[in-house]
Structure 1
Amino acid sequence: MLKFGGTSVASAENIEKSCAIALHALAGGPVVMVVSALGGTTDALIGAGRAAASGDSRYREALAQLQQRHLAAAQALLPPAGQPDVTATLTQGFSELTQLCDGVFALGELSARTLDRLMSYGELLSSQLVCAVIGGKTPAAWADARQLIRTNSCFGKAEVDPAATRQLVQAFGQKHAHALWVVPGFIGADAEGTTTTLGRGGSDYTAALLAAALDADKLEIWTDVSGMMTADPRLVARARPIAGISYQEAMELSYFGAKVLYPPTIQPVMERGIPLWIKNTFAPADYGTLVEVDPPHSPDVVRGLSSIGQLALLNLEGSGMVGIPGFSKRLFEALARKRINVVLITQSSSEYSICVGVAAADVPAARAVVDAEFAPEIGAGRIAPLRPELGLAIVALVGENMKNHPGISGRLFGALGQNGVNIRAIAQGSSERNISTVIRSEDVPKAINVLHEAFFEPAYKQVNLYVLGPGNVGGKLLAQLAQQQAHLQQQLGLQVRVVAIANRRHCVVDENGLDLATWPAALAAAGPCTLDEFTQLILSRNLRNSILVDVTANPAAADHYAALLEKSVAVVACNKVAASSAYANYARLKGLAQDFNTRFLFETNVGAGLPIIGTLGDLTRSGDVVRRLEAVLSGTLNFVFNNYDGSRPFAEVVRQAQAEGYTEPDPRLDLSGTDVARKILILAREAGHPLEMSDVQIESFLPASCLEGDVEAFYEQLAVHEAHFRALYDAATAAGKRLKFVARYADGTAAVGLQAVLPSHDVYELRGKDNIVLFYTDRYSEQPLVIKGAGAGAEVTAAGVFADIIRAARL
């Protein structure tokens, strides 16, 4: 038993491939070919019918195009001598179609019964064309499915009478002893002989019914993919074929949206134990998927993932339901009266509410019938009117191996939760073969990818970076990422992709990952992008494991962190503005990261790549208490005062520091003490003390005029006041001391300022651009815990940002 889908007969070339497969199968015994309409035909027929019903005369043009397509296929496939009969059959069929649509046009109405008759011509004509083609190579008989498949009169999706169908098929087989039959799929007839259809995708069902009636050795479904996949390959790039699967698993996957197989197909062959093989017409050598009673054992706990979109939840709730029997029965009976299918059911243990999932298109009818059913209770205020929720979808895990296997639900919920995917409802059958979750439709691609990673790709986790500010530090970071990408995937199981890079003028995006060797040219050629647009880009792409990497000093960038954290997008900030902003904002961002199970990391806010904030966190989390902090936190100022000895102007040394990348973009932030004040404030907060910036005393060594005007004016004033700086240096040197800009915290107060320190001081020997932090805690009360090293420079700062990215990625 062979069934060929619409793509397998979409063109003359594809029909040739399908006929070759059937002829090859014929060597093993009699064959029945079930054929779908030529790809796209059914949709075109529906469109023509609706156009006619709406008074649009262009239905004739649509039918003429369909006719020409069928005739062209016949001319390409058949020799001249074999064309007249088929051409006559096709022409007659399209003549009947035109008359049918003319009637619809005249009435202005397209009933379900008429639509079934209209749609049936797709399979009727394609099957006769295929029969003529294969009949030119071997004897073949065309069988009208309307004489074989007996249904009720529910037009649009008729219900089959299996017993009557079996009798009709077997009687036909006894009268027609051909080795090869060609049968149109999708259609049947009721007891009066009126044409019906089995629902979209019903050709699979036709083949299964015929296979069961004939006790076929196997049923092969030939389509355009090599079997069922672990997930929809259009959503998951690394989805892989499933070699073997049970009937029950296949039924669950097909019901929950796997497009390869029409859900009712499984039942007829399962009852007869007939193996079902899903094969690829365009790659016939591929193994495909074998559906059978007892498939080989799979090492995967989950067999596959699937989803159903366009779902709505109907919520019926109220205190009047508690302890009162019959409410569920009345709800389901009301829905059944309107032929509304219930996809999913959940009920609270308190009996206060019951929730069912239905197709979104059924919501208006469902609301009307349910509110009418419970009108007395609604009027009395005992229950609320039906409350529908739209824009939802189901994502399901399916697998026989899930039975009695603890931790599956935990992995499911954990993976979704870490990516900000909210679960609106949950259902699990007693068979433990399916766990279904209801989520927002827009989250489906992310959810499917996250779950596929969790259950089928344990070696890899995809991480998507949005880099804001590819300047000096950002450029070094991108170079480090490019160098380490292969290592991260091989050693840490992290596939790190930079999907967007933005500066003040441009933004370049590639959801598959930017080429980190050519990004500067790509960014220069990209279009403009505001911060609002960049944030919206991150949210709208909704990629799994997303991280914003802010390598700017832009205060406006920090204003967007909250919106991202609320969607479980991690934030790695080189930018100090957020962590040193008002304490309430700092605390809010930290709280959002915790509430939405993501990370807000800013290690490089203090000490560039030094592990200062991380170490402080380790101390406090382990129960230690920080009593006092003393630190040199400005690599810039340390560089400046280590290199200034009066032999060249102070302004020249500062310019050197800026040129070598040790200063902030505006060096006044460093020399004014503001940058160091931010850093000690951040450390105090991380130690658990709710200080504000105004609580930090800044003891400035700069004359006031140096902070007026722009950066060039700043340098001019430094030159003007050279004597001031020389005097500071000379006084310290004369006393055997060195100038260090020191930050201090103790007893709830913080201060920063220039100090002349003696050789006995821990910071005296600090060289170059190094930073040092001394932690005096309950555990390190006499001898402080010291962290020391390079505290400025693009390379080490980028490395610190890189480390934060890895921490966020490995959450």
Structure 2
Amino acid sequence: MTATLATPLFEAESYPRLSVIVAGTGNVGIEFLRLFRRQQQRLAGQLDLQLAGVFNSRKALLNSSLDSDTCPNVLAQSPEYELAELITYLQQLPAPKVLVDITPSQEFARLYPVFVAAGCHLISANKQGVTLPVSEYQAIQTALQQRDLHWYSNTTCGAGIPVQRVLQELRESGDQIRRVSGVFSGTLSWLLCRYDGSKPFSEFVLDAKALGYTEPDPRDDLSGKDVQRKLLVLARELQLPLELADIALTPLLPAGLEQGEWSEFWQHRVQLDQSMDAYFQAAQSANKVLRYAASLTLKEGTVIAEVKLVAVLPQDPLAALAPCENMFVIESDWYKDSPLVLKGPGAGREVTAGGLHADLAVLAKAIMAAF
């Protein structure tokens, strides 16, 4: 296995060292690496932050002091690796060390117990880990606690919007969360903010696809499953033992249109157009606007979790949403008369990579405090 060595920015004899291993080299992974040297410089004199590994599903660079600026190019020329080789490397790498998961893979997330056993803290942009079945999720949490390791996953819902951190702080300070709701999809936010009945809804979907706002198959967005998974992330943050199936899901996509190829869907798009036109006309006649919203309500020992299309009045916080924005509305004992509202871009490589670095900064602070 080849690697490009970099000279450490400074000798770190009197500072703690934190080794960072990055899994995933897509757009967000590349942006995370681009920002890495800035983070090293910010922490200089307090923490020796070193890039100790970068890998994807095929290739890996594993060396204790990599150059984040040249890693992507060198990685492309590197040989393939075996999982056992990665695990052995992580086991031998001195602590403290953190694995940053920027993959979309559930298979990879299921390896978290192995990484924790190797002594790694975890930072996840990958929703699959946080939304594993409750038994697996709790086993990971238990293993982390036993080893005094941290798991940060603030970019799994809302990208750079610190909704999970806010929920953590409210709970830790004694507040009781009663309801969390909002719009968690930048794609569906764009579609419903733009849709004005001037042309069929499917044509707005094509516009969003051309702008790169949708998944390669936009039906993945219209299914609502990504929003459902993000709501489960927040439920786990509130320590609720929900499974994905416990969250009621009403897709934007009429039943049956999720089958087959995109070209087949396009031939039957009129079903979607007629459905959305009916919703739009009903909302407009009631002086409301459409939003695809998620909500998690805690009441008298019960939990109601659902994801569906809603029509809201102009004074509702969701009505003020801009295209591509996400919004989180938190109602609690402290924020019952006037909910706490967080909003901003809910996707994008820059904000997601920035959110990952925010998690890394929190971990760095904890390590420096313990040194």
- TM tier, shorter chain? 0.7 to 0.9
Aligned match of 1:703 = 254
Q: Which residue of 2 aligns with 1:475?
A: 30
Taking a change above 3 Å as real, the CA distance of residues 504 and 622 of structure 1, as seen in their structure-2 partners, is: same
CA deviation after TM superposition for structure 1 residue 495, in Å: 3.0
Alignment of 1:610-689 (within 5 A): 610-647=161-198, 650-657=201-208, 662-663=213-214, 667-689=218-240
Aligned to 2:64: 511
In structure 1, how many angstroms separate the alpha carbons of the residues matched to 2:352 and 2:174?
A: 29
Cα displacement string for residues 460-485 of structure 1 (whole angstroms, at most 9, x for unaligned residues): x3222221111121122111213443
Using the size of structure 1 for normalisation, the TM-score is 0.41
Structure 2's unaligned 5+ residue stretches are 1-7, 367-371
Cα distance in structure 1, aligned partners of 2:237 and 2:170: 10
SS of the counterpart of 2:44? helix
In structure 1, the residue corresponding to 2:129 is in which secondary structure? coil
Contact 2:62–2:89 under 8 Å retained in 1: no
2:157 corresponds to = 606
Which residue of 36, 42, 47 maps to 1:494?
Answer: 47
Q: Match of 1:803? A: 358
Residue among 61, 67, 78 paired with 1:526: 78
Deviation at 1:662, TM superposition (A): 4.5
Question: Match of 1:529, SS?
Answer: coil
Give the direction of change, closer, same or farther, for the CA distance of 1:464–1:653 in structure 2 (3 Å limit). farther
Q: CA deviation at 1:763?
A: 0.7
Q: Can you give the 5+ residue segments of structure 1 that lack an aligned partner in the other structure?
A: 1-236, 241-452
> Is the 1:662–1:794 Cα contact (8 Å) retained in structure 2?
no
1:655: how far off? Answer: 4.9
- Paired-residue identity, %: 34
Shift in CA distance, 749/476, structure 1 to aligned 2, threshold 3 Å: same
Per the TM alignment, residue 762 of structure 1 is displaced from its structure 2 partner at its CA by 1.4
Matched, 1:457 2:14: yes
How far did residue 753 of structure 1 move? Answer: 0.4
Aligned CA distance change for structure 1 residues 553 and 668 (closer, same or farther; 3 Å)? farther
Partners of 2:84 and 2:111 in 1: CA distance: 11
Would the aligned equivalents of 1:632 and 1:772 in 2 still touch at CA under 8 Å?
A: yes
Distance 1:717 1:555 in 2: 32
1:760 pairs with one of 306, 311, 315:
315
Q: Name which one, 1 or 2, has greater alpha-carbon Rg.
A: 1
Query: How far apart are residue 569 of structure 1 and its match?
Result: 0.2
Q: Deviations over 1:572-608 (max 9, x none)?
A: 1111112112112222222222221111111011111
Quickly say closer, same or farther: Cα 1:761–1:239, change in 2 above 3 A. Answer: closer
What secondary structure is seen at the aligned counterpart in 1 of 2:50?
A: strand
**Where do 1:530-549 residues align within 5 Å?**
532-533=83-84, 535-549=86-100
Asked if 1:727 is matched to 2:278, the reply is: yes
Q: Is the 8 A contact 1:644 1:650 kept in 2?
A: yes
Structure 1 runs of 4+ with >6 Å offset: 237-240
Residue pairs, 1:182-581, within 5 angstroms? 456-458=13-15, 461-490=16-45, 493-513=46-66, 515-529=67-81, 532-533=83-84, 535-581=86-132
**1:589, 1:600 within 8 Å by CA — same for their partners in 2?**
no
Rounded Cα–Cα distance in structure 2 between residues aligned with 1:544 and 1:660: 43
Q: Is the 1:607–1:633 contact (alpha carbons within 8 Å) kept by the matching residues of 2? A: yes
Q: Corresponding residue for 1:178?
A: none
Coordinate RMSD, CA, aligned:
2.7
For 2:359, the aligned partner's letter is D
Q: Check the 8 A contact 1:465/1:546 in 2, yes or no.
A: yes
Counterpart Cα distance in 2 of 1:539 and 1:704: 46
Query: Partner residue of 2:4?
Result: none
| Residues 87-112 of structure 1: CA deviation (Å, up to 9, x unaligned) | xxxxxxxxxxxxxxxxxxxxxxxxxx
Equivalent of 1:788 in 339, 343, 349: 343
- Secondary structure of the 1:509 match is strand
Alpha-carbon distance, 1:670 to partner? 3.0
Paired with 2:42 and 2:213, the residues of 1 have a C-alpha distance of 29
Shift of 1:665: 6.6
For residues 612-631 of structure 1, the C-alpha deviation after alignment (integer angstroms, 9 at most, x for no partner) is: 00110111112221112221
**Given the superposition, is the C-alpha separation of residues 712 and 804 from structure 1 closer, same or farther in structure 2, using an over 3 Å criterion?**
farther
Bigger relative contact order, structure 1 or 2, given CA contacts below 8 A and separation 6+?
2
Amino acid at match of 2:108: A
